[in-house]
Amino acid sequence: MATSQHPAQPVNLAQKASLINEQWSPRVVAEMNDYQFKVVRIEGEFIWHSHPETDEAFLVLEGTLRIDLPEGPVSVAAGELYVVPRGVEHRTAAEGEAKLMMIEPRGILNTGHEGGERTATNDLWI
Amino acid sequence: MATSQHPAQPVNLAQKASLINEQWSPRVVAEMNDYQFKVVRIEGEFIWHSHPETDEAFLVLEGTLRIDLPEGPVSVAAGELYVVPRGVEHRTAAEGEAKLMMIEPRGILNTGHEGGERTATNDLWI
């Protein structure tokens, strides 16, 4: 297990998210063992994808996150947590901007195994 | 890796914490792979301890968390995240009540390897 990086000071999640220049571009803010905490600004709809190797946790910081799932959409409000189980197809979306924290193992791509132009550069810190 | 349990609906973290009857008694609200998300209400000072096998993440939901560390205290406000590295002695504390979310692997005790009367029953869900 690689050594995780720990910011010396507490991380203000919404503030960090506000510093990101572009939407759909996650930035790492802290690590826990081999997991990363990432913040991201989103608006509109992402692409359908899955992560066969891992669950993926979403905590909404501001706005409202919609997670489209095979059985229908789930609405996640600020202060709420939702975990998408491994292997489950999903699509994140937001009407207006939402700021999120995501938690997942280091090395997981935002598009899973779909690839394509929506794939963000991984492991960028802010 | 054991299969993780996933609540069907989003988890309102502060609301879940408010449902806990007693302070210093963490309750699991969701899982991600072999990690657990726990909420807890705290007030006053805990005991010094460490977790040699894992980092431990704290997200403050309400109030202010103080984490005493060997090099001095860190103050963590609502909306802020702090990760205590594995093996580092620490003591959580709050003047007035604070509500927190903790993230750590399943099976980690709140007192690490210290044991004693402050050790909470593990793996209780709310």
List, for residues B28-49, the tens digit of each pLDDT value. Answer: 999 999 999 999 999 999 999 9
**What is the rounded CA–CA span in Å between residue B40 and residue B54?**
19
Shortest Cα–Cα distance, A13 to chain B (Å): 6
Residue from B83, B99, B103, B126 whose CB has the most chain A CBs within 10 Å, to mutate: B83
Look at residues A45, A38, A40, A49 and name the one whose alpha carbon lies nearest to residue A66: A45
Provide, as residue numbers in chain B, all residues whose Cβ is less than 8 Å from the Cβ of A107.
none
**What is the rounded CA–CA span in Å between residue A31 and residue A6?**
6
Residue from B3, B35, B61 whose CB has the most chain A CBs within 10 Å, to mutate: B35
List, for residues B73-97, the tens digit of each pLDDT value. Answer: 999 999 999 999 999 999 999 999 9
What CATH number was assigned to the domain covering residues A13-105?
Answer: 2.60.120.10
- Give the count of Cβ contacts less than 8 A between chain A and B: 97
Whether the CB-CB separation of A106 and A54 falls below 8 Å is answered with no
ipTM of the complex: 0.95
Shortest Cα–Cα distance, A2 to chain B (Å): 12
User: Do residue A55 and residue B32 have CB atoms under 8 angstroms apart?
Assistant: yes
**What is the rounded CA–CA span in Å between residue A73 and residue A90?**
9
Whether the CB-CB separation of A97 and A42 falls below 8 Å is answered with yes
How many residues are recorded in chain A? Answer: 126
Entry pTM: 0.95
Residue from A9, A27, A33 whose CB has the most chain B CBs within 10 Å, to mutate: A33
User: Do residue B83 and residue A4 have CB atoms under 8 angstroms apart?
Assistant: yes
List, for residues A27-70, the tens digit of each pLDDT value. Answer: 999 999 999 999 999 999 999 999 999 999 999 999 999 999 99
Identify the residue with better confidence: A79 or B1.
Answer: A79
pLDDT at A69: 97
Q: Which residue of B has its CA nearest to A6?
A: B83
Provide, as residue numbers in chain B, all residues whose Cβ is less than 8 Å from the Cβ of A4.
55, 83, 85
Q: Which residue of B has its CA nearest to A73?
A: B9
- Which residue ranges make up each domain of chain B? 13-105
Shortest Cα–Cα distance, B13 to chain A (Å): 6
Whether the CB-CB separation of A49 and A113 falls below 8 Å is answered with yes
Whether the CB-CB separation of A36 and B81 falls below 8 Å is answered with no
Q: Which amino acid is at B100?
A: L
